[in-house]
Amino acid sequence: MGPIFTTQVTKIKNNKKFETDDTVIREIKLDININGKRIVSLMATPTDLKELSIGYLISENIIEKVSDITQFEITDIDTKIYKADIKATINEASSDKLNTEGVIVSGCGRGASTHISLKSIEAKVMQDDFYIDANLLFKEMGEFYTQCPLYEQTGCVHTAKIHIDDSIYFIGEDIAQHNTIDKAVGKALLAGHSVNRAFLMVSGRLSSEMVAKAVMHQIPILASRTASTCRGVNIAAKFGLTLIGFVRGQSMNIYRNPERIHVES
């Protein structure tokens, strides 16, 4: 099943009222099962579901790396429900923390995501010599929205782009902001690329769950055209993440760890 479908709408334009076709995005529930046990359900756009599953499991510290997975199968139960059956070596403690009866909604993450605490994030502090030129980030952000086909077709999805180098990048698109990061990272990892010397761009606000995703994936730079929350800034400060908002034209606000962004003199 494709990620979009066509429906009829009543449109008003230039003082005229008429019927026309419109393109809208699909939304499905993805049940993720590991070793015969349901771990979590995600509301998502039905694209890149394998990548989403892997990215999510790594970001939640349930699996450490792609090679921990020995078997993976996606099943289309019906038009609204998909199932990922996975066999893998897992971190049992992290798995037990998830509410197995919960559904992570498409808006902003599960209910607890708005209360992410610094103590609850089990990640390494990033210490590296990675940096990029400010002009590269301006250029990539300027091109970002031209590389997102579902957004172009529907205007109803969030997007994330992880930039590996000048010729390699991966895009994630989904109705849920946090899913976009997991999809983009999942694609990169499945293609054999490390993300700890890359930078990540997202379309929406830099809320705590978005910043925590970048930290868990050990991505050193996270940027957006919009703003960060206070909690997002605090997470970036603790874990050494370069957090950047309002990347527009030739301007940006670097909230924390600016040393990774160089400016030509």
Domain boundaries, the chain: 28-113, 132-262
Q: Closest Cα to residue 182, out of 48, 89, 18?
A: 48
CATH number of 28-113: 3.10.20.10
- As given in the structure block, the two tokens for residue 219 are 């991505």
Q: In the structure, what pLDDT confidence band is assigned to residue 111 with cuts at 50, 70 and 90?
A: very low
Instruction: Say yes or no to pLDDT of 115 above 50.
Output: no
Give the per-residue pLDDT at 83. 95
pLDDT digits (tens, 9 = 90+) for 211-225: 999 999 999 999 999
| Burial class for 37, CB neighbours closer than 10 Å (0-12, 13-18, 19+) | exposed
Sheet containing strand 199-202, strands side by side: 168-174, 158-165, 199-202, 221-224, 242-248, 251-256
Looking only at the bridges linking them, the beta strands covering 261-262 and 132-133 are: parallel
The fourth-level CATH superfamily of domain 132-262 is Cytidine Deaminase, domain 2 (3.40.140.10)
pLDDT in tens, 18-43: 899 888 888 899 999 999 999 899 99
Tokens 């992570």: give the residue. Answer: 104
Asked, colleague to colleague, whether 28-113 and 132-262 share their fold, the answer is: no
Residues 31/82, Cβ–Cβ less than 8 Å: yes
| Predicted local distance difference test score (pLDDT) of residue 116 | 62
In the structure, what pLDDT confidence band is assigned to residue 16 with cuts at 50, 70 and 90?
confident
Token look-up 């950047």 returns 244
Contact (Cβ atoms closer than 8 angstroms) between residue 240 and residue 118: no
Specify the pLDDT at position 70.
96
Whether residue 156 lies in the annotated active site: no
Contact indicator for 201, 163 with CB cutoff of 8 Å: yes
Q: What is the pLDDT of residue 99?
A: 47
The secondary element (H helix, E strand) that includes residue 95 is helix 92-97
DSSP letter for each residue of 139-190? HHHHHHGGG-HHHHHHS--EEEEEEEETTEEEEEEESSHHHHHHHHHHHHHH
User: Which residue in the list 108, 148, 156, 230 is annotated as catalytic?
Assistant: 108
